[in-house]
Structure 1
Amino acid sequence: MTTLDHLNSCDTATFVDTLRGIYEHSPWIPERAAARRPFATLAALKLALQHAVTQAAEDEQLSLLRAHPELAGKAAIAGELTLESTGEQAASGLDRCSAEEFASLHRLNAAYNDRFGFPFILAVKGPTGKGLTRQAIIATFERRLKHRRQDELQEALRQVHRIAEIRLNALLGVELAFGPAIMAWAEEIGAISDDEQGLTCAYMTPAHRQTAAKLADWMRQAGMDVHVDAAGNVAGRYAAIDPAAKTLITGSHYDTVRNGGKYDGRLGILLPIAIVRELHRRGERLPYHLEVIGFAEEEGVRFRSTFLGSHAVTGHFDLSLLERQDAGGVTMREALLQAGHDPQQIPAIARDPAGLLGYVEVHIEQGPVLLEKGLPLGVVTAIAGSSRYLVELEGLASHAGTTPMTMRRDAAAAAAEIVLLVEQRCSGQAALVGTVGQLQVPDGSVNVVPGRCRLSLDIRSAFDDGRIAAVRDVMDGIAAICARRGIEFTVEQLVEAEAAPCAPRLMDRLGEAVQRAGLPRFDLLSGAGHDAMAMAAVTEVAMLFTRCGNGGISHNPLETMTADDADIAARVLLDFLRRYR
């Protein structure tokens, strides 16, 4: 079996020959990576190989891509693939295509080559390394055909690196200690949904309660003492030997947006469960209590109230929200009682800050920065503050054919102007973003001037002063637009969350753990809100981001990550936990 020590100590020719099959017909990649030896870890070797490709000229990159065979193409039929490619295509059943599937792949291969000038490349062993289905491969093929050429070139190269990662693992006999379990658990609870067509897990629905029960079971099996509190948080405690020790909290949320992804929030619960399971297997205790919390609600889908779980833990749960109704008229209080919880016990959930050492959260990035940097992990510097509103516009519904343009009180036209105002005000300023994510014309008709319109407003920044100034300017703009157009408006504030800087001390310790894993420390801002924002009210917080695939997309069924990235994130967090004092 080839080892990293052997690769570090052998001559260059042997190094290149040993890694010859890692990148398809491209020995120049290990030749260039050899100069960066010795590699402290496998992750460092993977980065060196990736760096050789990234720094290559575009014609060299295209040559690498064109060295890859088409999926189920002529070379596969003729038995002319490399041993590695043969095994990979067979793992996804591409050697057993139906006539219809083969025809689809043949058509897609031709269309892709015509559009991009290189073959379609996909790591068909997939995020877990076990293989994608033929249906998933064809769907990915069709989706990526719509990409712009430069975007697809970069995606194809990322797929090459994923193929190389899987091959390198096989060459070195690597067995991931944490990643496979984390991915399998995510799949299992990802199948529990309020909606048969996608993953939706809203607060206190049957799917939500079933997910909580599954998390509690896994925590117990991992060796934790577990309870589900009055807000629905699933808390697992891995106790220190000293009962008087303080507590370090980790975790994230297990609710989802509508039609969401499998890893948002849930990675931050499943990953530390896998770590505790390993500590328990080894009989190892930490010098502090480690508490893993699956926060019951963060997204605000059912009751338009975010961070319910973490606000309960910090003692900031707003009890007036218990009377808020969902779309079906069920109050939050009723939903909790139906689930077997006592809302009156929620204030008792609050943790004493004096007993806390800190809070650390692992989360998918939900963006493309790490993906474009080619890095599996990043250390979060701060979580952007957020201001969210619901804006109701009231004009006058009138006949579309008989109402002159100059006499209209068109609510939708006012909304369109507001959307552009938000885009203009929030563009060109660092760390400031503005979004109108919902836009509705209730009871609209093709032949009626819209009399009502409803839109959401979300303004975020890492700097509270800049966010507040942008909100003020947008609100002034809305008032001016509506006055000019004869529109009445109301604004309901949904969320007002201050930016939450991460503790430099904890950031440094996470960064050191990342570097010990053989990766460079890379710091980045979180534009998305996280439970760490709420936890910052009672203790120091830190966050570790993991890379998202599929262009960094999140809050979407296409949200993805790999078992390898989950594994190295777990190893980094475990290193951090073992050294934490």
Structure 2
Amino acid sequence: MALTLQQLNAAPLAEAVALLDGVYEHSPWIAEAALAERPFRTLAQLKHAMVRVLREAGEDAQLALIRAHPELAGKAAVARQLTAESTHEQSTAGLTDCTPEEFARIQQLNADYNARFGFPFILAVRGPRGTGLSRQEIIDTFARRLNHSPDYERAEALRNIHRIAEIRLNDKFGHEPTLGNDVWDWHERLARHSDPGFAEQGQLTVTYLTDAHRACAQRISHWMRECGFDEVEIDAVGNVVGRYRPAQADGRYLMTGSHYDTVRNAGKYDGRLGIFVPMAAVRELHRQGRRLPFGIELVAFSEEEGQRYKATFLGSGALIGDFRPEWLEQRDAEGITLREAMQHAGLCIDDIPKLRRDPARYLGFVEVHIEQGPVLTELDLPLGVVTSINGCVRYVGEMVGMASHAGTTPMDRRRDAALGVAELALYMEQRARQDEGSVATVGMLEVPGGSINVVPGRCTFSMDMRAPADAQRDAMAADVLAQLEGIARRRGLQYRVELAMQAAAAPSDPAWQRRWENAVQALGVPLHRLASGAGHDAMKLHELMPQAMLFVRGLNSGISHNPLESTTSDDMQLAVEAFAHVLEQLAAEHA
């Protein structure tokens, strides 16, 4: 029979410690210290109480806990000396059924890891979904983490221990994150669609209006209908729009959503999490037969990443009236114009101006997004409330010099375009460091048709500059452009730069930020506020209506724009619950 929080809260201390036996391997002291915080309102609150105990225990206690864990498929497993919990976890991941080659590989990795770090490799082998990683996933993770620094790997071991404890607590309390599992499964199924050249390599890439992109739109629209949205359409720029009507026909709408396109060789959660979390919440309303005083408009934005064309934020920009006709003549790498791609997809270009939303019809915009950074995972927090989105400006450019023989052209006679861009990139690094919160990146640098024995005569490049305030961003950009002019003049080069995108900083609306804060605290999760260094669709909607965002913790140091991007179904469950709580707050306010 499943344990309840009421039982745990009411039990004498020794009995309560016994009820939590085995959550942290051979370490009942963690449960005993955490129980001092009783009564617990939510399971999430209990989980974090135990996390905090270990965080405050110090390095020696943390290392002792790590060393209390058995090796994966190690001597204790062979001798059947594991705890019941560890036995179940290793068998769930198939580690008891290794082939001789897999077993030998894991033993060698165990030896190498212990020699490097002085403690066993810890991995939550039941994985982010709780159903178990494959043996190949375990081996690949093992090999990758051997390259980490000792300090990083100690922290990563503790994060995996907390995940193991979370799953064990779920088992004890009979808790299944069913909504989070559904959100997880939607991500997996959508990730089956990928552009040619990437799909064959098992990589996820979905760029604007490719066949994979259009297949994603159809799949999302189908799921929206299944979830109970009253109206679902694909609009004139490829956004998938679902509307769940209000109780009264004249009710306003809450807008929410994020993007479904990806960068090249992407992770599965960037953008898409902000589609599937609201989708799950609306499905629950539909199952209950409930209508709220306001409607919900969920928009799966078709383009945010600027990968195929330079028209970044095309999907959300169209909703605020920011679609520029000149974008239609942009060409992709194959020479296909944006106009041609839209026409091929059957989109009605003439209808794009009609997409602009009337702010009087909306309460505001909220977006759920994976953090794309290390803050929440380093703090062992599942959710964070965004205070603002940094302003961003992007340029694409070309530096032109003179291609010449690498062996016969003296160093003082060269007009090296690549070195000009390299000097600019180093300056951008130095300049960004002068300001708190500023960042600057040359993300693309290419010598077209370059050769090993030719001084580069042409170099194409990009510049991305971001800062918490527009004035700070603009001052940095002005200095960088002035430096570019000086470098070109001094080196005898010519250049051109084109503004590719500019987005204003977007501070969260105070009232909407408070609603997210109330939701997080109601879940029993400590409140943490943070700014977003990444750009989001919310910063475009910010120009038309109040907005605020919720971040969800990412695994693997919060890495994003990378196949290692990940989060857990438990964290997704909390995100759905937080979103539902915001809906209930709004319903109470408009009752």
Tell me which interval the TM-score lies in, with the shorter structure as reference length: over 0.9
Runs of 4+ residues deviating >6 angstroms: none
CA distance in 1, matches of 2:286, 2:363: 21
Task: Map 1:257-268; keep pairs closer than 5 Å.
Answer: 257-268=263-274
The match for 1:430 is: 436
Letter in 2 for 1:492: E
User: What SS is found at the alignment partner of 2:257?
Assistant: strand
Task: Map 1:7-22; keep pairs closer than 5 Å.
Answer: 7-22=8-23
The match for 1:148 is: 149
- Identity across the alignment (%): 54
CA distance in 2, matches of 1:461, 1:220: 40
Deviations 1:467-526 (A, max 9, x none): 100001111111111211111111111111111111001001110111011012211101
The match for 1:530 is: 536
- Flag the 1:44–1:428 CA change in 2: closer, same or farther, 3 A: farther
Q: What is the CA distance between 1:458 and its match in structure 2?
A: 0.5
Letter in 2 for 1:207: A
The match for 1:29 is: 30
CA distance in 1, matches of 2:500, 2:28: 56
CA distance in 2, matches of 1:353, 1:33: 47
Q: What is the CA distance between 1:391 and its match in structure 2?
A: 2.3
The match for 1:64 is: 65
The match for 2:578 is: 572
Is residue 119 from structure 1 mapped to residue 120 from structure 2 by the alignment?
yes
Q: What is the CA distance between 1:30 and its match in structure 2?
A: 0.6
Deviations 1:272-306 (A, max 9, x none): 11111111111111110111110111111111111
Q: What is the CA distance between 1:157 and its match in structure 2?
A: 0.3
The match for 1:278 is: 284
Is residue 216 from structure 1 mapped to residue 221 from structure 2 by the alignment?
yes
The match for 2:206 is: 201
CA distance in 2, matches of 1:430, 1:127: 34
CA distance in 2, matches of 1:285, 1:118: 54
Letter in 1 for 2:334: G
Q: What is the CA distance between 1:177 and its match in structure 2?
A: 3.4
Q: What is the CA distance between 1:319 and its match in structure 2?
A: 2.4
Deviations 1:377-422 (A, max 9, x none): 1111111111111121111111111111122111222222111100
Is residue 488 from structure 1 mapped to residue 494 from structure 2 by the alignment?
yes
Deviations 1:220-267 (A, max 9, x none): 011102111111111111111200000101110000011111000000
CA distance in 2, matches of 1:329, 1:490: 21
The match for 2:134 is: 133
Stretches of structure 2 that go unaligned for 5 or more consecutive residues are none
CA distance in 2, matches of 1:38, 1:457: 52
The aligned length equals 581
CA distance in 1, matches of 2:292, 2:369: 23
Is residue 501 from structure 1 mapped to residue 502 from structure 2 by the alignment?
no
CA distance in 2, matches of 1:243, 1:293: 20
Q: What is the CA distance between 1:322 and its match in structure 2?
A: 1.6
Q: What is the CA distance between 1:428 and its match in structure 2?
A: 4.2
User: What SS is found at the alignment partner of 2:343?
Assistant: helix
Given the alignment, which residue of 291, 295, 299 partners 1:293?
A: 299
User: What SS is found at the alignment partner of 2:395?
Assistant: strand
User: What SS is found at the alignment partner of 1:178?
Assistant: helix
Is residue 551 from structure 1 mapped to residue 552 from structure 2 by the alignment?
no
Q: What is the CA distance between 1:11 and its match in structure 2?
A: 1.3
Q: What is the CA distance between 1:320 and its match in structure 2?
A: 2.2
CA distance in 1, matches of 2:484, 2:385: 37
Task: Map 1:182-197; keep pairs closer than 5 Å.
Answer: 182-194=183-195, 195-196=198-199, 197=201
CA distance in 1, matches of 2:288, 2:178: 13
Is residue 412 from structure 1 mapped to residue 413 from structure 2 by the alignment?
no
CA distance in 1, matches of 2:480, 2:579: 41
Deviations 1:336-366 (A, max 9, x none): 1211211111111221111110000000010
Given that residues 23 and 160 in structure 1 are in contact (C-alpha distance below 8 angstroms), is that contact kept between their aligned partners in structure 2? yes
Task: Map 1:238-277; keep pairs closer than 5 Å.
Answer: 238-277=244-283
Task: Map 1:164-179; keep pairs closer than 5 Å.
Answer: 164-179=165-180
The match for 2:523 is: 517
Task: Map 1:442-457; keep pairs closer than 5 Å.
Answer: 442-457=448-463
CA distance in 1, matches of 2:470, 2:310: 22
Letter in 2 for 1:571: E
CA distance in 1, matches of 2:206, 2:292: 33
* Farther-moved stretch of structure 1 (148-157 vs 426-435): 426-435
Q: What is the CA distance between 1:539 and its match in structure 2?
A: 0.7
* Farther-moved stretch of structure 1 (119-128 vs 475-484): 475-484
CA distance in 1, matches of 2:71, 2:540: 49
The match for 2:159 is: 158
Given that residues 431 and 463 in structure 1 are in contact (C-alpha distance below 8 angstroms), is that contact kept between their aligned partners in structure 2? no
CA distance in 1, matches of 2:52, 2:527: 16
Given that residues 438 and 455 in structure 1 are in contact (C-alpha distance below 8 angstroms), is that contact kept between their aligned partners in structure 2? yes
Q: What is the CA distance between 1:316 and its match in structure 2?
A: 1.7
Letter in 2 for 1:344: D
Task: Map 1:326-337; keep pairs closer than 5 Å.
Answer: 326-337=332-343
CA distance in 1, matches of 2:454, 2:233: 55
CA distance in 2, matches of 1:312, 1:450: 40
Deviations 1:425-452 (A, max 9, x none): 0014212111111111222222111111
CA distance in 2, matches of 1:501, 1:404: 52
User: What SS is found at the alignment partner of 2:178?
Assistant: coil
Is residue 81 from structure 1 mapped to residue 86 from structure 2 by the alignment?
no
Stretches of structure 1 that go unaligned for 5 or more consecutive residues are none
CA distance in 1, matches of 2:259, 2:148: 32
Task: Map 1:33-52; keep pairs closer than 5 Å.
Answer: 33-52=34-53
Deviations 1:69-110 (A, max 9, x none): 111111111111111111111111111111111111011111
* Farther-moved stretch of structure 1 (23-32 vs 322-331): 322-331
User: What SS is found at the alignment partner of 2:387?
Assistant: strand
Letter in 2 for 1:296: S
CA distance in 1, matches of 2:338, 2:451: 34
CA distance in 1, matches of 2:351, 2:471: 37
User: What SS is found at the alignment partner of 2:123?
Assistant: coil
The match for 1:367 is: 373
Given that residues 238 and 290 in structure 1 are in contact (C-alpha distance below 8 angstroms), is that contact kept between their aligned partners in structure 2? yes
User: What SS is found at the alignment partner of 1:70?
Assistant: coil
Letter in 1 for 2:191: G
CA distance in 2, matches of 1:239, 1:404: 72
CA distance in 1, matches of 2:354, 2:325: 12
- TM-score w.r.t. the length of structure 1 is 0.99
CA distance in 2, matches of 1:466, 1:230: 36
